[in-house]
Amino acid sequence: MSTAPAVAFGAHRPGTERTDRPLLDGRLKDLLAGKKILLTGVTGFIGEQLLWKILSELPDTVPAVLVRQKGSATARARMVGVVKKKIFTEVREAAGGAEELLDSRIDVIQGDLPNVPALPTDIDVVVHCAGDVSFDPPINQAFTTNVIGTKALMDRLIEACSDEDGVLRKIPHYVHISTAYTAGRRRGAIPEAPHVHSIDYDAETTAGLAMRDLIEAESRTAEQLTRLRKEAEREHRVAGYLTTAADTERRRKEWVQAKLVEAGTERARSLGWTDVYTFTKALGERVVADLGAKIRISVVRPSIVESSWLHPYPGWIEGFKMAEPLILAFGRGELPEFPASPDAVIDIVPCDHVVNAIVAVCATEPEIGKAEYYHVSSGARNPLTFQGIYGMLHAYFTAHPFEGGERGAAQLPNWQFPGAASVERLLSTSERAHGVAERVLAKAPRSSRARTIAKDLDRIRGRLDFLRRYLSLYNEYGQSELHFVDDNTLALTGSLHPDDQPRFAFDTSVFDWRTYIEEVHCPSITAPIRRLDAIRRKRGNRPSTMKDLSRNTAGEQALAVFDLDGTIMSTNVIEQYLWARLPELSTAGQIGEVGQVLRRLPSYIRAERRDRGSFLRAVYRRYRGADLAALEESIDTTLAPHVLSRLSPEAVRRVREHRAAGHTTVLITGALRPLTRPLRPLFDVIVAADLATDADGRCTGFLTGPPLVGESRAAWLQHYASLHGIDLGRSFAYADSHSDLPMLSCVGNAVAVSPDVPLMRAAGANQWSVVEWKIRPTTPRWTLPR
C-alpha cells in the first residue's frame, strides 16, 4: 500500500460523497453561546490552549474544568497556576486577576480519573482530552486512564444528565480526544470510522489490571529477589548491607515497572497495535461508542501534535512532546542514524489546528448514538516525509547550531536511512562494546585515568540508553504507512463561517513545512534549551559541596570527617603492615615475610572486594606476636616521617581550615590506631582499629572490636552527632572509596576525594563535589622506613 497523498485516490465519484456530515451553520461563538463545556486535561498541552481559546474567543461559553489535586495543591490552586500563564494575560487582565477570572468564568471541579465526582447537571458538552502522554505506560496504568477513566467520565456525564429514574433529561455532546494512531499496525488508508476489531475491552481491562498483582508477586519470589540482591551486591557490597538492601528494593521496583511496560507492549502487539498507549486508546474509542448509544458523540483523532502554527502565537508549545527529544538530540549531534524509511510520512499537526477542530466539533450536533470521527492530520494532503524533515532539521541546526562550549558546535549527523535492522545492529554492537569496556573497567585499579574512562563510558551509556529507548519507542512510527483520510475534518473546516475562518480554520494543507519546522517549531523548542545552556555556562556546571570555609558559621555544630587511606594519605593496610613489621626483621626474614604476603595477596584482594571488614581482619591477623609498645615506639620514631611524607598537602590544608572554622575534626579509619599517632594534632577525634594484646603486651592478631567500615561509620557518626549536639546537615565528610558511601550520605556536605569509579558515579548522582588531592610521596613506594 502507499502513503501517497489524497489525490492518488482520485476524486469522489458523484453520488458517493457523504451528505449527512454534521456541519456548522453560524458563528462558533453563537453556536456555543450559553453552553457549558466540561474540559478534562486542562493542565496539559491541548487542554490549556483549548481553555484559552474558549475564554478568549467564546465570550458566552462557560468552561468547567475537571482537575485533580496534586500533592497539597488543590484543583483551584492548580487552575490559578494555569491562568497565570502568559497566554492568559489578556483574559486575566480583563477579569482583573487570576482569582477573579476563575470566579467569573471558570467552573472548577476537583476530581480525578477514574474517580470522577458527580458532575454538574447543566453540562452541554464534555471534551475529554486528559490522558497519558507517554507511549509506554505500565499496562495497568494505561487501562486505568484510557479505558476505566473514559468509562467513569461517561457514566458520570450520563448520570448528571438523567433524572432519578435514569431517563435522560437532556442530550449532551461527548467529544473524545483520541489519537490517529489508534489504527495500530494497520496500513494504508484509514477512514474516519470505528476501527474494525472484536476485542472484549472489559476482559482485556481485567486482565491488564491483574498484571500488576501478578508481576508484583513475581518480583517477590525468592529467585527473583536473590537475583536482584546479587546484582545489587555486585555493585554495592562494599558499602554495606543497608545500602545493598536499598538498592535491591530500588531494582525490584524498577523491574516491576519494566515488566508492566513490557506486558503492555507485548499485549498490544499481540493484538495488532504498536504499543499499549494506542491499544488502550483504541479500546477507549470502543467504550465511547458503546456507552454513548443515547447521546451525541464525536471522536477527534489528532496525529502527532506539535507546536502551534498561529495561535496563541506561532510556536506555542508546553513541555516536550513526542518529537522534541529526538530533534534536540539531532541538534546536539547525538542521533547518528534514525530507523525510519526516508519516504515514510511523519504526520505532524500543529496544536492550534487540533484545538480549532475540537471547538468546531463541539459546536456540531451529530446524530444521537452515531459517533462521528475526525482525523486531524496532515499526511493525506500535505505530507512531510522523514527525508524531508531531516533536510529541514539539518538546515535549521546548520544555520542555528547549539552553543557548543569550548569545543564549538556539534557535528550534525548525516542520516543515510539504512533501515531499522541496520540501525539496530549498530546500536546493539555499541551496547555490547560498552558492556565489555564496563567489565574491563570494573577490574582496573583506581586512577584518574580510570575515572576519565568511566566518565566517558557513562556518557556513552547515557546516549545509548537514550537511543535504545526512543528508537524502540518510535521505530514503528518511523515506518508507518498510514494514510489518515480527513474528509470529515476538511468538510468541517470548510463549513466555518467566513468570519471565523481567520481565527478557527484548521486545514492542515495551508502551511509550508519548511517554514513551520525551520521558523516556527525548531526556534520555539530550542529556545529554553539555549537559555539553560547559557545559564549553565555562566555559573559553571559544578556542584559544590567543597565549600569555602572562611565564612562558615556552623562552628561547633559541624563535624569534618575524614577517611585516611587514599583520602588524606596514600597507603593501604598491607603496606602499613610491611612498614611496621619489616624493619625489625633480618634480611632473610624480610624476604620471607614479603613472600608470604605476596602469596596471600590474591586472597586479600578477593576479601577486599567482598567485604572490607574481613579483609582488615585477615591482614591484622599477621600482627600476631608483635609487641604493641615496641610497635608504637617504632612508629613514633621511624615510621612517622614515612606516614607524614605520604600525606596529601591539600588534605592537610583542608583539615586545618576546618579546625580554623571551629569544626570538630574526626578521622575515621580502618587502619590501626598506632599508625594514626603522627596525625593526632590534626584531629579532635580519631576512630581507628585497636589491636588486642595478651598479658605480655603482645598482639593476639585480633582486634578489640570490629573495624569501623562501611555502614558502621554512618552509625558511629549519627550517634556521635546526637551525643554532642552536632548538626550533620551542616557537617562535612571526605572519603575516596565506595565503602564510604553510607558515611558520605549522612552529612550535608560530602566530598569525594580521588574516588573509585563507583563512588565517582554516586557523587555525580548526589551532586557531590569531586576533588583530586594529589599525593606525591618523595620516596618510592617500596622504600622501607629508615
Contact indicator for 55, 63 with CB cutoff of 8 Å: yes
> Inter-axis angle of helices 587-610 and 612-620, to 10 degrees?
160
C-alpha cell of residue 406: 569550548
> What span, in angstroms and rounded, lies between the C-alpha atoms of 211 and 218?
10
Report in angstroms the alpha-carbon separations of 449 from 455, 456, 546, 559. Answer: 10, 11, 22, 32
Which C-beta is closer to other proteins: that of 400 or that of 656?
A: 656
Stretch that binds other proteins, among 216-224, 365-373, 522-530, 641-649 (CB under 8 A): 641-649
**What track of x and - describes contact with other proteins for positions 429 through 468 (by CB under 8 A)?**
----------------------------------------
Between 252 and 642, name the residue whose CB sits nearer to other proteins: 642
> What are the start-end ranges of the E strands in 35-161?
36-40, 62-67, 107-110, 125-128
Q: How far is the CB of 638 from other proteins (least distance, A)?
A: 8
Q: Which of 489, 524, 648, 731 binds other proteins (CB under 8 A)?
A: 648
Location of C-alpha cell 486545514 = 507
Q: Compute CA distances 285 → 49, 179, 288, 540, whole Å.
A: 23, 10, 5, 50
Q: Does 548 bind other proteins (CB under 8 A)?
A: no
Rounded Cα gap, residues 345 and 384, in angstroms: 5
Q: By C-alpha distance, which of 92, 34, 36 is closest to 60?
A: 34
Q: Is 538 in the site for other proteins (CB under 8 A)?
A: no
Give the nearest distance from C-beta 554 to other proteins in angstroms: 21
Indicate the residue among 602 and 780 with the shorter CB distance to other proteins: 780
How far apart (Å, rounded) are the C-alpha atoms in residues 375 and 302?
6
- Residue 102: phi and psi, rounded to 5, are -60, -45
Total binding residues toward other proteins, as defined by CB under 8 A:
19
Q: Binding segment for other proteins among 100-108, 292-300, 554-562, 771-779 (CB under 8 A)? A: 771-779
Range in contact with other proteins (rule: CB under 8 A) among 82-90, 430-438, 649-657, 740-748? 649-657
Between 292 and 678, whose beta carbon lies closer to other proteins? 678
Asked if 229 interacts with other proteins (CB under 8 A), we say no
* Closest approach of other proteins to the CB of residue 768, in Å: 23
* Nine cell digits for residue 198: 472484536
Q: Which residue has the cell 559544590?
A: 544
Report the DSSP beta bridge partners of residue 565: 569
Half-sphere exposure in the Cβ direction for 512 (13 Å, CA): 5
Q: Terminal CA-to-CA distance of the chain, rounded, Å?
A: 87
- Select 498 or 681, whichever has its Cβ closest to other proteins: 681
Residue 689 is given by DSSP the state E
- Residue 647 engages other proteins in binding (rule: CB under 8 A): yes
Residue pair 48/20 in contact (Cβ under 8 Å)? The answer is no
Q: Could you say whether residue 551 binds other proteins (CB under 8 A)?
A: no
Among 595, 625, 649, 706, binds other proteins (CB under 8 A): 649
Tell whether the torsion through CA atoms of 557, 558, 564 and 569 is positive or negative: negative
Query: Toward other proteins, which CB reaches closer, 521 or 658?
Result: 658
Window of 65-73, 554-562, 652-660, 758-766 that interacts with other proteins by CB under 8 A: 652-660
Q: Does 246 bind other proteins (CB under 8 A)?
A: no
Among residues 539, 551, 599, 776, which is the contact residue for other proteins, using CB under 8 A? 776
Regarding 339 and contact with other proteins (CB under 8 A), the answer is no
Site string for other proteins, 675-704 (x = CB under 8 A): ---x--xx----------------------
* From 166, 538, 780, 782, residue interacting with other proteins (rule: CB under 8 A): 780
Of 179 and 665, the one with the shorter C-beta distance to other proteins is 665
Contact 737, 753 (CB under 8 A): no
> What own/partner pairs with CB < 8 Å and gap ≥ 24 does 535-542 have?
537/403, 537/405, 542/769
The nearest distance, CB 570 to other proteins, in angstroms, is: 10
Judged by the rule CB under 8 A, the positions of this chain that interact with other proteins are 640-641, 644-649, 652-653, 656, 678, 681-682, 775-776, 778, 780, 786
